[in-house]
Amino acid sequence: MHDKVDVLIIGSGASGAAVAWSLADTKMRILCLEQGDWVKPADYPTNGRDWEARLFGDFAINPNRRARETDYPINNGTSPIQVVNFNGVGGSTIMYTAHYPRLHPSDFRVKSLDGVADDWPVDYATLEPYFAENDRMTGVAGLEGDPAYPHHVLPMPPLPLGKTGKCFGEAMNKLGWHWWPSDSAIATTEYDGRAPCINLGHCTPGCAQGAKASTDVTYWPHAIRAGVELRTRARVREITVGPDGLASGAIYYDAEGKEHFQPAEMVIVACNGIGTPRLMLNSQSGKFPNGIANSSGLVGRNLMFHPFAHTYGYVDEPIDGNTGAQLSLWSQEFYETDKTRGFVRGYTLQLHRGAGMIVDAIANTARGFLPWGEAHHDVYRTIFNRKLGLSAICEDLPEEHNRVTLDPVLKDSNGIPAPRIDYTLSDNTRKMIVHGVARSKDILEAAGAKNIGGEAPMLNAGWHLMGTARMGTDPERSVVNEWGRSHDVKNLFIVDGSIWVTSGGVNPTSTIQALALYIADNIKRRLADATLFD
Amino acid sequence: MTYDTLTDAEIRDLRALAGLMIPASTTYGVPGADDELIFADIVKNLERDTADAQTALRQLADLSGGAFADLPIDRRTEVAARFRQEGGAPLFALNRVVLLCYYRDDRVMRSLGQEPRSPFPKGHVVEQGDWSLLDQVRNRPPMWRRA
């Protein structure tokens, strides 16, 4: 039995780190349990010649392939999109692209504006100061003045345009469509002890330079200096409930498989859209036989991915290839609803630099474009460093049948039931994907690209995990209230992507972290006036 | 984690197949994937793909009616063409390892104008570019919906 803490945070990723840092100024005793390890900069693949091979090994994005001791298996069922994540200090920010857009103001009002899904119980204006604070803490690079967003200040200049960006920019201008340098969570100058980006290449497998803003190098050093304890290799099995119906702590396993009980005054869950419902559904008790805080029956339901429609082609002259951050430009031309398109809501287009030279060879072999035999060399030289890629990040609307449950058979190495995914694409999403692919082809053709191919939806693209413990004011239609507190258990909070009401069509990390800071502020305010558990 | 190892017969077939997938080229001055150094790297790095490689090589032997490596070159080409059509996921995994090892060989990288080194710590240079390309977009009215 460990000493009781005031605040127990489960998960050290995007939201867990932000909430830990924000609450640290209360001087409460705060502990974060993380199932994974710290990742040392020297461990990242770009330190070695085998860096592309490790994308299919210990730094694979799919945890079933990566299969580290610290990972848990996921039964993706028949889902056309498989869950990808990372388990370690920093969570999936270790392996994100650092593309860092905010949700748009309209994303919080989809019912009012477009008559679908539900409005959020918070809005952009409420979150705006938290977006700004998060941008400062994270260190965001970009260019002010994007007409697709309300004005916001960016701490660092944008990532370089490069040859690939020029190619895209000219094509987009020819079509008269919006494009802009992305808000990127990558240091382009020295920032808060981090060195600037030196263009190591694709950012997903972690940044050896430390320029990418994973939370192990942003929030955590500050939170730990402020007194927060971060305990690694602590895999939580369940949140426990006391006789008063409040959360009493958590049971976890250490690296040796030894069971521990960690008591706490309040529990904050930050395991994101798959890990959070898995933990809650595994937290069964007499009071909560269907999982903790699940009186609505909505824990695990309304799973939203962002279905990705990836389209690519090859230009005649060499461009940037894999040098430089893969994502540094976006287009919001098709973001807001235009019902003449045949669907509601919309998507962001991410404009990519190329893939690694080997990854691209693998992709072109898979699609039958790169032959075996003598012709291999000729064909490879027509694609090497010539790739333009685009991904439409399609808004996914909530549907209760898309859900996370506990797999009856599959378990992790500690015997904890693993998550199972049941997910199908909606008709609206399918139409959006078709539109996104068609517009991507327009752009590629305007850029003079040939040999156009693609994958839609991308199979290994379940990066963005949302909706499985949604927020709202109605306890029958939501799991947490408008400031992240469980309707059922008044000392249990959720701060990650699972509380999202709708998904928007942008990478979610910036908004996840702004929400976590907003919830932390609400906790602090209610602590001050003694209404936190009312 | 420990992995199974290929038999000598499987290794012979794999080497013959690798040389057919990516043969040496005098035009570009590059070795084939059956080059001694590259092939040793392939065998060493099958690791978590070993089971798939074994499955693929069993299928290749079946299609060959025996050892693929012992077939005359014309027949090998025919069998390989059919194998590429029918090999499925195990062949894809095997082909991936061949590519991963081939394209990190110093000689191959140099032939493509690449420095044979890890990305870190030197990094790469990406040109800043001309942001005046954005002027057309800068002049657009706000596109976001007020809500």
Is the distance from CB of A502 to CB of A118 less than 8 angstroms? yes
**Cβ–Cβ below 8 Å for A48 and B118:** yes
Is the distance from CB of A389 to CB of A441 less than 8 angstroms? no
Q: Which of residues 46-65 of B touch A (CB under 8 A)?
A: 47-48
Pick from A89, A93, A108, A84: nearest CA to A138: A93
Name the residue among B104, B126, B145 with its Cβ closest to that of A358. Answer: B104
Is the distance from CB of A480 to CB of A516 less than 8 angstroms? no
**Cβ–Cβ below 8 Å for B143 and A336:** yes
Q: How large a percentage of chain B has pLDDT more than 90?
A: 97
Question: Does residue A99 lie in a domain region?
Answer: yes
Question: Does residue A53 lie in a domain region?
Answer: yes
What confidence score (pLDDT) does residue B26 get?
Answer: 97
**Cβ–Cβ below 8 Å for B124 and A149:** no
Residue type, A355: A
Pick from A372, A352, A268: nearest CA to A312: A352
Question: Does residue A431 lie in a domain region?
Answer: no
What confidence score (pLDDT) does residue A246 get?
Answer: 97
pLDDT tier at B65, thresholds 50, 70, 90: very high
DSSP element (H, E) containing A476: none
Question: Does residue A444 lie in a domain region?
Answer: no
Q: Is pLDDT at B137 greater than 80 in this prediction?
A: yes
**Cβ–Cβ below 8 Å for B147 and A179:** no
A184 touches chain B (CB under 8 A): no
CATH code where residue A251 lies: 3.50.50.60
Q: Which residue of B has its CA nearest to A64?
A: B48
A166 touches chain B (CB under 8 A): yes
Pick from A127, A110, A118: nearest CA to A476: A118
B137 touches chain A (CB under 8 A): yes
| Helix B36-44, helix B8-21: angle, nearest 10 | 120
Is the distance from CB of A211 to CB of A138 less than 8 angstroms? no
Q: Which residue of B has its CA nearest to A122?
A: B147
Q: Which stretches of chain A drop beneath a pLDDT of 50?
A: none
List of E strands, A99-232:
180-181, 229-231
Domain assignment of residue A245, given as a range: 5-154+183-304+399-422+463-528
Question: Does residue A26 lie in a domain region?
Answer: yes
Question: Does residue A281 lie in a domain region?
Answer: yes
Q: Please report where in the chains the tokens 């794999």 appear, as a residue.
A: B14
What confidence score (pLDDT) does residue A44 get?
Answer: 97
Please give, rounded to a whole number of angstroms, the shortest distance from the CA of B141 to a CA of chain A.
6
What confidence score (pLDDT) does residue B147 get?
Answer: 86
Instruction: Convert the pLDDT of each residue in A415-467 to its tens digit.
Output: 999 999 999 999 999 999 999 999 999 999 999 999 999 999 999 999 999 99
Q: Please report where in the chains the tokens 């690449």 appear, as a residue.
A: B114
A290 touches chain B (CB under 8 A): no
Q: How far apart are CA B60 and CA B70, in angstroms?
A: 12
Q: How far apart are CA A517 and CA A270, in angstroms?
A: 12
**Cβ–Cβ below 8 Å for A104 and B144:** yes
B132 touches chain A (CB under 8 A): no
Q: How far apart are CA A252 and CA A254, in angstroms?
A: 7
Question: Does residue A255 lie in a domain region?
Answer: yes
Please give, rounded to a whole number of angstroms, the shortest distance from the CA of A205 to a CA of chain B.
12
Q: Which residue of A has its CA nearest to B144?
A: A148
CA atoms within 13 A on the CB side of A190: 1
Instruction: Tell me the ipTM for this assembly.
Output: 0.96
Residue type, A70: T
**Can you give the residue ranges of every domain in chain B?**
8-116
Q: Is pLDDT at B86 greater than 80 in this prediction?
A: yes
Name the residue among A181, A366, A372 with its Cβ closest to that of B20. Answer: A372
- Phi/psi at A141 (5° precision): -105, 145
What confidence score (pLDDT) does residue B95 get?
Answer: 98
Name the residue among A163, A336, A376 with its Cβ closest to that of B127. Answer: A163
Q: Which of residues 335-394 of A touch B (CB under 8 A)?
A: 335-336, 357-358, 361-362, 365-366, 372-374, 376-377, 381, 384
| Residues B112/B115/B116/B122 CA torsion (nearest 10 deg) | -150
Mutation for A interface: B115, B143, B146, most A CBs within 10 A: B143
Q: How far apart are CA A60 and CA A88, in angstroms?
A: 14
Q: How far apart are CA B147 and CA B41, in angstroms?
A: 58
pTM over 0.95: yes
Q: Which residues of A touch B47 (CB under 8 A)?
A: 57
DSSP element (H, E) containing A287: none
**Cβ–Cβ below 8 Å for A165 and B129:** yes
Q: Which residues of B touch A147 (CB under 8 A)?
A: 137-138, 140-144
Which spans in A334-426 are helix H? Answer: 357-366, 375-383
Instruction: Convert the pLDDT of each residue in A284-323 to its tens digit.
Output: 999 999 999 999 999 999 999 999 999 999 999 999 999 9
What confidence score (pLDDT) does residue A1 get?
Answer: 75
b vs e for B98-128, b when ≥16 Cβ sit within 10 Å of the residue's Cβ? Answer: bbbbbbbbeebbebbebeeebbbeebeebee
Q: Phi/psi class of residue B66: alpha, beta or left (left: φ > 0; alpha: ψ in -120 to 50)?
A: left
What confidence score (pLDDT) does residue B3 get?
Answer: 85
Q: How far apart are CA A514 and CA A510, in angstroms?
A: 6
Instruction: Convert the pLDDT of each residue in B103-118 to its tens digit.
Output: 999 999 999 999 999 9
Q: Please report where in the chains the tokens 């695990």 appear, as a residue.
A: A300
Count of the separate structural domains present in chain A: 1
Q: Which residues of B touch A362 (CB under 8 A)?
A: 95-96, 99-100
**Cβ–Cβ below 8 Å for B129 and A361:** no
b vs e for A193-217, b when ≥16 Cβ sit within 10 Å of the residue's Cβ? Answer: ebebbbbbbbbbbbbbbbbbbbbbb
Pick from A103, A148, A155: nearest CA to A133: A155
**Cβ–Cβ below 8 Å for A160 and B129:** yes
What confidence score (pLDDT) does residue A353 get?
Answer: 93
**Cβ–Cβ below 8 Å for A199 and B123:** yes
Q: Which of residues 40-99 of A touch B (CB under 8 A)?
A: 44, 46-53, 56-57, 65, 67
Is the distance from CB of A173 to CB of B133 less than 8 angstroms? yes
B4 or A120: which carries more pLDDT confidence?
A120
**Cβ–Cβ below 8 Å for B45 and A53:** yes
Tell me the average pLDDT across B76-98. Answer: 97
Pick from A194, A183, A197: nearest CA to A218: A194
Pick from A462, A423, A425: nearest CA to A303: A423
Q: How far apart are CA A509 and CA A499, in angstroms?
A: 13
Is the distance from CB of B23 to CB of A373 less than 8 angstroms? yes
Q: How many residues does chain B have?
A: 147
Average pLDDT taken over every residue of chain B: 97
Pick from A411, A288, A509, A209: nearest CA to B124: A209
**CA separation (Å) from A173 to A404, A443, A447?**
43, 10, 10
Q: Which residue of A has its CA nearest to B24?
A: A374
Residue type, A31: L
**Cβ–Cβ below 8 Å for A372 and B100:** no
